[in-house]
Amino acid sequence: MASSEFQPLQGMSDICAPEIYLWQMMEERARTVFNAYGFDELRTPVLEKLSVFQRSLGDTTDVVKKEMYSFKPSKHEIAMRPEGTAGAIRHLAGRGEEGLNARVFYIAPMFRYERPQAGRKRQFHQVGVEATGDPSPLADAECIALQKSLLDAWGLTGSKIRISTRGEPSDRKPVADGLRQALQPHVDELCEDCRRRLDENVLRVIDCKNEGCGRIVEQIPSPIEFMSDASRAYLDQVMQALETMGIEVAFNPRLIRGLDYYVHTVWEISHSALGAQDALAGGGRYAIALGKKAVQGVGFAVGFERTIMALEACGITAGQFEPAGGVWLVAVGDKALMENMKLARSLRERGIRCGMELEAKSMKAQLRKAGRSGARTVLIRGDEELEKGTAVVKNLVEGSQQEMNLEEAIRNA
Ligand code: HAM
């Protein structure tokens, strides 16, 4: 039988034990951090109308143009979410006044039809936040502080925050005109994608990964040089607040981010352990128009898969979060097997991880299974122990064995 029969689709993964324990740790700690910052969980559907993403992310972005899983089962074309912001804002815009001043977080799978490679999946997972309403630069700084608290709570060290600005919506035209003019003498040296971007979305030329384009971009003014004083002042205030809170960031005027909804502050967090796909998180302030409603907010998303790669490089691994070994019950004879069913139930009700063989098997077979289960302690009972109210306690870690009163045995489990 072809082994591919048991594989998930390309670019997608099954996440199972022991790795899942690292995911669970991240999710639990994320919830604790979000609670401290006053964010409530929001779960939106995986599927949305395609227009929700086209209007929010921008229909010339790579994500919308090339990477959406979309189909048309009925009247509307629908798509699997490639990110969490658009759906969250669709929901909040529908909630009226309250939604326009809200703080939500999500932990959810996202889907992008990209070419899979290390750190780039077709189904990946994000933990993200969106805070709507507050137009202050301090809200942006607070959001970055929250993201830093999250990475700290996971134990991640060595990450770097790069920050820049997209300016106000009124800066868009002067920035695009300025860049186009500066790039004009170099058109023939640009890659094919960038020649198209020149008309469509000239900002994206700035973060093109092509080396030749990179060299040209080095020679031209950065977008911020075409922005208004107000936009620069906004960024200054964000930077000042971050400095006051002791959060180190590097200003990088060539940071663009691939989504069109951004205004003012944008940032990305990278880690040297990640190689080519070195961004483990991204965020920024945005303005999204849905129907007659314009929603502004600030938020970020951290990718689980890339963060896990970085955590592993920091020596943080799933094994550290596996549940403690627990107890295995071994029965000698049918009566002990039934009594062990009762004992297992009472141990489990106390929250103790407990396993047992459900068929009458030899002691040797039961002990072998106990060893494989990862249990630290085995309680062995037969007719004689049942009569006396005792159990033989075998410590699998130390290899010791001792008969004890049942209650004492349970305390030792
Ligand atoms: P993004 O930069 O597109 O931003 O994605 C955020 C993170 O998701 C990335 O830094 C990366 O860790 C992870 N990610 C993205 N694509 C993939 C992939 N194909 N495979 C594995 N991981 C991936 C956003 O999605 C925005 N919604 C962030 C945001 C929220 N901005 C404001 N609010």
CA distance 227 to 225: 6
Judge whether 336 and 356 are in contact, CB under 8 Å.
Answer: no
Is the pLDDT at 74 greater than 80? The verdict is yes
Q: Cβ(87) to ligand 1 under 6 A?
A: no
Nearest CA to ligand 1 atom 1: 282
For the segment 272-304, what is each residue's pLDDT rounded down to a tens digit?
Answer: 999 877 899 999 999 999 888 889 999 999 999
Check residue 412 and give its pLDDT: 79
Judge whether 58 and 261 are in contact, CB under 8 Å.
Answer: yes
Measured in angstroms, how far is the CA atom of residue 124 from the centroid of ligand 1? 9
CA distance 132 to 119: 30
Q: Specify the ligand 1 atom closest to the Cα of 307.
A: 12
For the segment 242-254, what is each residue's pLDDT rounded down to a tens digit?
Answer: 999 999 999 999 8
Q: Cβ(306) to ligand 1 under 6 A?
A: yes
Is the pLDDT at 76 greater than 80? The verdict is yes
Nearest CA to ligand 1 atom 9: 281
Measured in angstroms, how far is the CA atom of residue 67 from the centroid of ligand 1? 13
Nearest CA to ligand 1 atom 31: 283
pLDDT band at 223 (very low <50, low <70, confident <90, very high): very high
Check residue 144 and give its pLDDT: 98
Measured in angstroms, how far is the CA atom of residue 83 from the centroid of ligand 1? 7
How far CA 36 is from CA of 2, 31, 115, 138, in Å, comes to 49, 9, 38, 17
For the segment 12-53, what is each residue's pLDDT rounded down to a tens digit?
Answer: 999 999 999 999 999 999 999 999 999 999 999 999 999 999
Judge whether 235 and 265 are in contact, CB under 8 Å.
Answer: yes
For the segment 162-219, what is each residue's pLDDT rounded down to a tens digit?
Answer: 999 999 999 999 999 999 999 999 999 999 999 998 988 899 899 888 899 999 999 9
Q: Cβ(300) to ligand 1 under 6 A?
A: yes
Nearest CA to ligand 1 atom 2: 282
CA distance 123 to 112: 7
Beta strand extents in 72-195 (DSSP E only): 78-80, 103-111, 123-132, 159-165
Q: Cβ(335) to ligand 1 under 6 A?
A: no
Q: Cβ(82) to ligand 1 under 6 A?
A: no
Mutate to test the pocket of ligand 1, among 9, 111, 120, 124 (most ligand atoms within 8 A of CB): 124
Q: Cβ(48) to ligand 1 under 6 A?
A: no
Check residue 2 and give its pLDDT: 53
CA distance 137 to 123: 33
Q: Cβ(283) to ligand 1 under 6 A?
A: yes
Q: Specify the ligand 1 atom closest to the Cα of 304.
A: 12
The per-residue DSSP string of 24-51 comes to HHHHHHHHHHHHHTT-EE----SEEEHH
The per-residue DSSP string of 99-130 comes to GGG-EEEEEEEEE-----BTTB-SEEEEEEEE
CA distance 263 to 64: 19
Measured in angstroms, how far is the CA atom of residue 386 from the centroid of ligand 1? 59
Helix 50-57 to helix 85-93 angle, to the nearest 10 degrees? 100
For the segment 78-126, what is each residue's pLDDT rounded down to a tens digit?
Answer: 999 999 999 999 999 999 899 999 999 999 999 999 999 999 999 999 9
Residue tagged 């992008």 (tokens): 112
Check residue 60 and give its pLDDT: 84
Is the pLDDT at 3 greater than 70? The verdict is no
Check residue 207 and give its pLDDT: 86
Judge whether 111 and 82 are in contact, CB under 8 Å.
Answer: yes
Q: Cβ(114) to ligand 1 under 6 A?
A: yes
CA distance 379 to 386: 12
Is the N-terminal amide bond of 185 cis, ω within 30° of 0?
A: no
Sheet containing strand 250-251, strands side by side: 40-41, 103-111, 123-132, 293-303, 279-290, 262-271, 159-165, 250-251
Query: Given 3-state DSSP classes, what are the helix, strand and coil percentages for the chain, each rounded to the nearest 5?
Result: 45, 25, 30
